[in-house]
Structure 1
Amino acid sequence: MWRCAGVLGLLLLIAGCQSTHDDLIAKGYPPAFADGFDDGCSSGRQAAGAITGEFRKNVPRYLKDNNYAEGWSDGFRQCQAMRENQDRMDYHNSHGYERGDEREKAWQQQKDQDTARAYHSP
């Protein structure tokens, strides 16, 4: 779990001069993990609908090398989630929603549904 949080933190530091791959190596991750993370991240962005990013997966290596497979899976999940989150935030910002407004609406709707169920229960 800590490794996933660390890798996510590394993604946030991409703006620096060092690539994610180089940063992972510098942090002590095996080169195979870093290779897999790069491929998985590109694939995750593509799966989330990003214009940039392409599906990349070295299938023979994925099946034989646990470090590559773990890196690929971590990169895919994290970059897909980050891209989907960014898309969601962009949508809400472009439509004038605030994060709190959406949560408030969802909470109010759930509360109303629960109240209706309570009144109609035998």
Structure 2
Amino acid sequence: MSARWVVLWCLVIVAGCQSTHDQLLAEGYPPAFADGFQDGCGSGRQAVDVMKGQYKKNVPRYLKDTLYAQGWSDGFRQCQAMLENQSRQDQGRDSIWNDRDRNWEHQTTQDMARAYRTH
């Protein structure tokens, strides 16, 4: 009985580590589309941040295989948009902290000015 649980646990772990490519195949997308999506997604990430992805495009295949081309374009747009959105959210968080810092500094300066005037 315990051997079955170990095997089941290993299957759950492996399923949790499934790549986007494997997930697309499991959902019934053609292999050419999944290949294109994977290449396009890395390229889309790289377009936003050089450190986040790697540009990859099989140009001869892109020109001949419409499924690969469609997958590449979809992957590029989706991953580029996702990373840009994440960057905007991160910048928004930074500006909140900058505004708080500015307000705190302003309040501190006013408090110090009041303290000097009373002495």
What TM-score does the superposition give when structure 2 sets the normalisation length? 0.66
Letter paired with 1:92: G
Match of 1:39 in 2: 39
Describe how 1:1-122 pairs up with structure 2 within 5 A.
16-96=16-96
Q: Sequence identity, in percent? A: 68
> Partners in 2 of 1:51 and 1:91 — Cα distance?
18
- Indicate the RMSD between aligned Cα atoms, in angstroms: 1.1
What TM-score does the superposition give when structure 1 sets the normalisation length? 0.65
Unaligned runs of 5+ in 1: 1-15, 98-122
Show CA shifts across 1:49-85 (max 9, x none).
2412111000000000000000000000000000000
> Partners in 1 of 2:35 and 2:91 — Cα distance?
32
Letter paired with 2:19: S
Letter paired with 1:34: A
Q: Which has the higher helix share?
A: 2
Letter paired with 2:61: R
Aligned residues: 82
Change in 2 beyond 3 A, CA 1:39/1:26: same
> Partners in 2 of 1:89 and 1:76 — Cα distance?
20
Alpha-carbon offset, residue 94 of structure 1: 1.4
Match of 2:116 in 1: none
Moved over 2 A (4+): none
> Partners in 1 of 2:37 and 2:50 — Cα distance?
17
